[in-house]
A and B are shown apart, each in its own frame.
Chain A
Amino acid sequence: MKTKAKFTVGVAIIVVSLVALAVLGARDSKTYYHTIAELPTLQGTALHQRIRVGGTVQSGSIERAQGRIDFTLLGEGKSLKVSYVGTDPLPDTFKDDSQALVEGHTTPNGRFVAEKVQAKCASKYEATPGQSAPKGSDYSNKKS
């Protein structure tokens, strides 16, 4: 039984340290989902969290400026001004009327600063194509 005890200790050490790493990793990269309508109601610590918002890109709102790209997201009858400041080029699927997910932070003036943008073309391809095919639509995300 001594072996078994040793083994149990070994297992415990491994599992505990990995769980600790997982918790640390989760804390670093936690992103909260909100809708456009919810954003103005956020208070306190929620304002400093990493936030993910989805919406439709307003037609004609995309403006490329030096070092950032501005656009407006629409959803639930509200709109949200977004500045994309990430370094990666925007996905090919990102254009007027496409659906986009942006990740970043709110700012006091109400503008959303995104470091990451994912986009999916609105309707061309029905929902999710195949297991691998979906990559077509799913993978248009960019690394942050």
Chain B
Amino acid sequence: MDLFGSFALLLAFVCALYAIGAGIVAIRTRNPLLIKSARQSGLAVCGLVMAASASLAYLFFTDNFSSAYVAAHSNRDLPPFYKIAAFWSGQEGSLLFWSLLLSVYVFSVLFAYRAKHPELMPYVGVVLAGVQLFFLTLNNFVANPFQILGAASPGGAMQYTRLADGAGLNPLLQYPEMVIHPPNLYSGYTGFTIPFAFALAALLARYPGEKWIHLTRKWTMIAWAFQSAGILLGAHWAYAVLGWGGYWAWDPVENASLMPWLTGTAFLHSVMMQEKRGMMKVWNVWLVFSTFLLCILGTFLTRSGVVSSVHAFAQSSIGPWFVGFIIVVLTVCTWAFLMNRDYLRSNNHLDSMVSRESSFLFNNLILLVACVAVLSGTLFPVLSEWIEGTKISVGPPFFNRVNIPIGLFLLFLTGVGPLLAWRKTSLESLKRNFGGPLVCALAAGLLAFPLGLRDFYPLVCLILCVFVTVTILLEFFRGARVIRARTGSDILSAAGQLTLRNTRRYGGYVVHFGMVLIFIGLMGAAFNRDKQMEMALGSALDIGPYRLILQSFDTRPEKNYTAERAILEVMEDNRQIMMLFPERRFFQANQESGTMVAIHSTLKQDLYVVYAGRTQDKQTPVIHAYLNPLVKWIWLGGAIVVLGTILALLPSRQAVLALRPAARVVPAAVTPQTVMTGVSNYEGHD
């Protein structure tokens, strides 16, 4: 199977190469047959990479320890479920996984638009094949997952060596999230290749209008949803597995996933400026270029060991390839931009400070500043070594100082932006739209202050969260009231209908609401508490409303590991509410240990208990307990963000209006924005 996989990869490489070559010739000669052949070659890459991936999976599931990659990342007793995670647990496999997901995206795009946009698609095909070629080069020649373990026999010929068992999977990765988090994050990373390819192709082809934006909206949103889910799943994994009580540490790997998300978010918003007002064309093109480059940079950062975190130890030969690729992409993008920049001239200018346009501009500015801050903080050791000659790193205080106010300002814009009119907003409509929410928000702040919420940032965060929530609810309510007046249905089903009629707009609100929940959860971190204690049998640890009593501790052998666990009774107000079993697992295959945190999660707070080991002298268990308020809201908000994105991807049901001709829109009851979006309701699918 390793040979089969190797050949499939090699053939995929050849096909990608052909897709580029034939594609370029086809663009020059406009030969329809050649265009078709280049496209089909691009489609074939997908099948071949799939075949290669299937054969690597086969090697894992058949415990083929003559394969170097399998031997290094799996062992016989590893549960099948985690053999899936083992696929992408190492460099070679994760790069193959990159190629696999990318090829699925490329296949979908090439296939979906096979008979459309004949002016644009050949260019798109070439750009996509170019990106694929880079990763296939790595798969084939730099980090091949199909290397076999061999040794020279006495006769000089190479022979297979088959190990009795593999080295096993890193214990930290033996957790359910590691099976779903990487595919999500990778789908995000790879997915941004599609809007990138369309933007570059449109620029190269001087494709008229905003067509590429309509075409890529869906794809960008899919990538964005995956990226969001991937980041949050990763945070949840860090929270549940690493046992330090937090979910985000501003580690370079985390930052690497956040940066393209920030620019991607900026892009999703600023394209609306181009769609509706023909503005910010240059900006959009560069935003999508940067997003793609940040995806590649993220992969590079975590691979090359250029940034000192724990990576300082891990040097790998793959770094220069990524630097080279980034330089090539940057050069091509700059060249394409310089050659065709007249094509990106803006149609309109900013009319007023208080307008939808300016709220988008600020949104973009602030997201970009956040991205630059995260980037410079991540690269600080590299930059300072260049400039000052000494390596200096910055820690979480740096990132928090900058990003907390940015986050709050964004939250403010989330509430304000969607309700501002295009071009210019009148004072009258400001009062009408924001009077209620503002009163509610300030009331909430006044209520929370005496209850003990005195810190500046959490207080501001609460006020803004209430403000945004009320504006969103009012939007739904206003729209639903109009529908109810027409159809007589109750307000909730009217709100449902409303959403389905303009999924893009109301799906967007749902996403915003999800973000509000995430902010509430993040705010909880300001009130985290923790306590560590050596616990004798029967002793108690008090934290917040909870009392933990150590009942016993034991050692329990499992198939793949031995678990040492503490058995803790949890009391709240002198009532027993549950038992918690924090563990330390010791994995025989690789002689490593891992922590299994026990979490009692409620909407109000998480009780997070770590079994930190035993003291050396007396062998008493050490328990570290954390009380983290509101963490659950983050995961809840994440789910709603993804749900909202899916909603916004659904086509709007405009037909309902046609079915009820009597139900004409009553202009007086509709806010100016509704008219605006109603008029220019691009759905971006065609």
8 Å CB contact of A30 from B73, B238, B394: B394
Binding site of B, secondary structure by majority: helix, strand, loop or mixed?
helix
Q: Do B366 and A14 have beta carbons less than 8 Å apart?
A: yes
Nearest Cβ in chain A — how far from B179, in angstroms?
Answer: 11
Given known A-B contacts A128-B302, A129-B89, A137 and B170 have beta carbons under 8 A apart:
yes
Name the distance in Å between A98's Cβ and chain B's nearest Cβ: 10
Asked whether A131 and B397 contact (CB < 8 A) given A22-B373, A101-B312, A142-B244, the answer is no
Chain B stretch 561-606: residues in CB contact (< 8 A) with chain A:
584, 590-595
Shortest B10–chain A CB gap in Å is: 22
Query: Chain A's nearest CB lies how many Å from the CB of B407?
Result: 12
Judge whether A29 is part of the interface by a CB distance below 8 angstroms: yes
B615, CB-defined interface residue at 8 Å: yes
* Contact across chains for B398 and A26 when beta carbons are under 8 A apart: yes
Number of interface residues of A (CB under 8 A): 58
Q: Once the chains bind, are A31 and B395 in contact (CB under 8 Å)?
A: yes
**Contact indicator A89/B312 (Cβ below 8 Å):** no
B350 touches A7 (CB 8 A): yes
Do A129 and B402 have beta carbons less than 8 Å apart?
Answer: no
| B257: A residues at CB distance < 8 A | 131
CA distance A55 to B308 in the complex (A): 13
Q: Which residue of B lies closest to A124 (CB)?
A: B590
The stretch of B212-220, B248-256, B484-492 in contact with A is B248-256
Q: Which of A4, A29, A92, A138 contacts B302 (CB 8 A)?
A: A138
CA distance A128 to B186 in the complex (A): 16
Flag the segment in B44-52, B274-282, B313-321, B440-448 that touches A: B313-321
Residues in A whose Cβ lies below 8 Å from that of B313: 54, 99, 120
B644 smallest CB distance to A (angstroms): 24
Count of B interface residues, CB-CB < 8 Å: 101
Q: Is the CB of B89 within 8 A of A136?
A: yes
A133-B244 contact, Cβ under 8 Å, with A25-B401, A138-B251, A141-B309: no
Cβ–Cβ < 8 Å partners of A11 in chain B: 365
Chain B residues with Cβ under 8 A from A87's Cβ?
Answer: 530, 532
Name the contact of A135 in the complex, choosing from B172, B380, B390 (C-beta under 8 A): B172
B408 in the interface, Cβ–Cβ < 8 Å?
no
Binding site for B on A (CB under 8 A): 3-4, 6-7, 10-11, 14-15, 17-18, 21-22, 24-26, 28-33, 52, 54, 63-64, 87-89, 91-93, 99, 101, 118-121, 124-144
- Known pairs A89-B244, A132-B253. 19 more at Cβ < 8 A? A18-B369, A22-B398, A26-B380, A28-B401, A54-B312, A89-B613, A124-B170, A127-B314, A128-B314, A129-B94, A131-B298, A132-B181, A132-B185, A133-B94, A134-B311, A138-B253, A139-B249, A139-B251, A139-B253
Q: Measuring CB to CB, which residues of chain B are less than 8 angstroms from any residue of chain A?
A: 72-73, 85, 88-91, 93-95, 97-98, 167, 170-173, 178, 181-182, 185-186, 189, 230, 234, 237-238, 242-246, 249, 251-253, 256-257, 298-299, 302-303, 305, 308-316, 349-353, 358, 361-362, 365-366, 369, 373, 376-377, 380-381, 390-402, 405-406, 409, 530, 532, 584, 590-595, 610, 612-613, 615-617, 622, 624
